[in-house]
Chain A
């Protein structure tokens, strides 16, 4: 019995730490959706790009925590460029265009990564935080703790930004009512670009942190993106707090699924959770309809 509780505590801690990182990926997605009504299907591929960038910087001697601000800034501008060159055009077309357009971007970026870097897995050399810490019966990798806390701090920072700054208020105004926001003198096009940049910056940070414990390869974004879609649906599309709650739930579900079912089907409970939420409570746990 005690052993069962130990295993349970171990899985719960691992799941929550993983969930914190999922939250950082998902808030970027949900912010973009809230502001401009676009689900960026290439969100996971942005994560992949950030991971390759962090890997390259690590080869130059910059460890992830040092490289983090660089990658975040670079991804922010990358997001703005993608918005200005591409997403803005999609918004002018029929609603399906944003769906298959961002999906096309996913295919393109994945292909580019495969063509340039091959399908091999790359991990950063001399990983920092490689030791395992023990808290009673629970053992956690130091890297997972750094990732979890880093992601929590950054998600909190984003929340504070959206809640308390002038730009954040403008973003919220656009997501609540685009026309009213325009009438109040808010430049909606600029807010769209900022939101898309922030969305990319979020995965910039998440991808860099992730390199502490995970290898990068061309399809790495696919799994994380799918998890992020489920998280966002679970929490409610457009809700930042919902994304955090949803992410913790999904993190726990995935870790428990991997342990009690089988590692190769750890995503099955996550996808089933998506279908159940969509059927029973489509607005998500904390979302508005």
Chain B
């Protein structure tokens, strides 16, 4: 039995946090800080996706709607209610969790594709809903009022945003490490490995997957709040539309589903690719980004469905087995 302090995952996380804090205070280049913020937000979104689609094994194609819940909660709290965006965390989380329960309750008792289709359908429903509501700014979106300070969750410089995103990332990673050691984690793994056996010892699939999915939705919503406070603008295409859901699934799949470090690695690949596409091929809208993302998902699914981190873990295990057999 490993103790928490000696867990390699925990040590890695602490190491990354130290580097992150130094980067936030040390780096003054706004382009780098902007990349760092995007990287952390996508790592959190990928981890959120990973909870239900990696550990849970139910692939979500509508994860952006939970991100959108947080982003719109922040925008509504500040621009419409005139209250602190800190209230957007519980507000967005509540809406996201309710949506997750509405999608999950009917579908978790069924085969996996019912859930995946429902996420596409609900994603389209939410997008249509937002686009028809003047209160939500329709398709054009709306701006958040300018403010300053910790209570208003707005800063003139970028480094505080990076620190906040780093804190959220730390929470997401710590929660995932906890998930792997928890009853929920064991149950999800058991359901994925052998559904019949898991059900026969009384593991209630619907109940445990609803918990994982609600948690996943709340996490994505928190990322949405930070994102809206950072860009000070929300609209459907940048927060809750299908292309964002594709990006989130890409981050989750590429890094490695069902692993603690898959999403951060996937986010690293994604941010690098997105930047490279924007610089070399003239940005999104021309289809090159979709070609690259699609080809990457296809290649991973066909060759190594466990993703980069999954492949690395398998390689390490094999080497250890060889060493033990040899020594």
- The yes or no answer to A138 lying at the interface (CB within 8 A) is no
Q: B57 near A96 (CB under 8 angstroms)?
A: yes
A145 at the interface (CB under 8 A from B): no
* Given A99-B116, A233-B117: A90 in contact with B301 (beta carbons within 8 A): yes
Residues of B contacting A39 with CB < 8 Å? Answer: 113, 116-117
Known contacts A275-B118, A279-B106; A96 and B257 CB within 8 A of each other: yes
Whether A108 lies near B116 (C-beta < 8 A) is no
Distance between A230 CB and nearest chain B CB, rounded to angstroms: 7
Residues on A with C-beta less than 8 A from B305 are: 90, 93-94, 96-97, 101
Q: In this assembly, does A267 line the interface, its C-beta being within 8 Å of a C-beta of chain B?
A: yes
**Which residues of B sit under 8 angstroms from A222, Cβ to Cβ?**
242
Q: Which of A93, A101, A265 touches B297 (beta carbons < 8 Å)?
A: A101
How many B residues, CB 8 Å from partner?
Answer: 48
In angstroms, Cα B120 to Cα A134, docked, is 38
**Which listed residue, B128, B249, B286, B302, touches A86 by the CB 8 Å rule?**
B302
Query: What 0/1 readout, one digit per residue, does chain B (298-319) give for beta carbons within 8 Å of chain A?
Result: 1011110100000000000000
- Does B153 touch A at the CB level, under 8 Å? no
- Mask for B109-145, Cβ within 8 A of A = 1, else 0? 1101110111011101100100110000000000000
Chain B residues closer than 8 Å to A90, beta-carbon distance: 301-302, 305
Among A108, A115, A229, A279, the residue within 8 A (CB) of B298 is A108
Known contacts A39-B117, A96-B59, A103-B59; is A111 also within 8 Å of B288 by CB?
Answer: yes
Complex contact A104–B61 (CB within 8 A): no
A-chain residues with CB within 8 Å of residue B257 when the two chains form the complex = 96
Q: Are B294 and A96 in contact (CB under 8 A)?
A: no
Chain A interfacial residues counted at CB < 8 A: 48
Closest to B292 in A: A111
- Interface presence of A13 (CB below 8 A): no
CB atoms of B59 and A104 under 8 A apart = no
**Within 8 Å of chain A (Cβ to Cβ): is B285?**
yes
**B124 pairs with A271, CB closer than 8 A:** yes
A274 contact from B112, B121, B296, Cβ within 8 A: B121
Per-position contact with B for A69-109: 1 when CB-CB < 8 Å, else 0? 00000000000000000100110011111111101111111
- Complex partner residue of A115 from B124, B287, B302, CB under 8 angstroms: B287
Is B180 interfacial (CB 8 A cutoff)?
no
B253: interface (CB < 8 Å): yes
Chain A 266-289 interface mask (CB, 8 Å, partner B; 1/0): 011001101100110010000000
Q: Are A111 and B121 in contact (CB under 8 A)?
A: no
List B contacts of A115 (CB < 8 A): 286-288, 291
Determine the chain B residues whose CB is within 8 A of the CB of A101 once the complex forms.
297-298, 301-302, 305
B297 touches A111 (CB 8 A): no
The smallest C-beta distance from A84 to any residue of chain B, in angstroms, reads 12
When C-beta atoms are compared, the residue in chain B nearest to A99 turns out to be: B59
- Decide yes or no: A100 and B290 within 8 Å by CB, A39-B117, A226-B121, A265-B132 being known contacts: no
Assess whether B321 is interfacial by the CB under 8 Å rule.
no
Q: Which residues of A contact B300 (CB under 8 A)?
A: 104
Q: Interface centre among A86, A218, A268, A275, by most B CB within 10 Å?
A: A275
> A99, A218, A230: which has the most chain B beta carbons within 10 Å?
A99
User: Contacting B122 at CB < 8 Å: which of A95, A119, A262, A271?
Assistant: A271
Q: CB distance A105 to B287 under 8 Å?
A: no
Indicate if B246 sits at the interface (CB-CB under 8 A): yes
Q: Which residue of chain B is the closest to A89 with respect to CB atoms? A: B302
**In contact, A114 and B125 (Cβ under 8 angstroms):** no
Enumerate A94-141 residues with CB–CB distance to B below 8 Å: 94-101, 103-116, 119
- Interface residue A264 (Cβ < 8 Å from any Cβ of B): yes
The reply on B295 being an interface residue by CB < 8 A is yes
User: Inside 8 A of B293's CB, which chain A residues have their CB?
Assistant: 104, 107, 111
Q: How far is the CB of B59 from chain A (nearest CB, A)?
A: 4
- By the criterion CB–CB under 8 Å, are B128 and A264 in contact? yes
Given the contacts A96-B57, A104-B297, A119-B285, A271 and B125 also touching, CB distance less than 8 Å: yes
Instruction: Please name all residues of chain A whose beta carbon is closer than 8 Å to the beta carbon of B298 when the two chains form the complex.
Output: 86, 101, 104-105, 108
Rounded to whole angstroms, the CA-CA distance of A233 and B290 in the bound complex is: 28
Q: In this assembly, does B229 line the interface, its C-beta being within 8 Å of a C-beta of chain A?
A: no
Asked if B289 is at the interface of the complex by the 8 Å CB criterion, the answer is yes
> Pick the contact of B291 from A89, A111, A230, A275 — CB < 8 Å?
A111
A112 to B287, CA, bound (A): 6
Measured between alpha carbons, how far is A282 from B109 in the docked complex, in Å? 10
Chain A residues with Cβ under 8 A from B117's Cβ?
39, 226, 229-230, 233, 274
Any chain A CB within 8 A of the CB of B221? Answer: no
Ranked 4 nearest A-B pairs via Cβ: A114-B287, A111-B290, A108-B294, A104-B297
Q: Residues of A at under 8 Å CB distance from B?
A: 39, 41, 86, 89-90, 93-101, 103-116, 119, 218, 222, 226, 229-230, 233, 237, 262, 264-265, 267-268, 271-272, 274-275, 278-279, 282
**Known contacts A97-B305, A115-B287, A264-B128, then 14 further A-B pairs from the complex at CB < 8 Å, ordered by chain A residue:** A86-B302, A89-B302, A90-B305, A96-B112, A101-B297, A104-B294, A107-B294, A108-B297, A116-B287, A218-B287, A267-B128, A278-B106, A279-B106, A282-B109
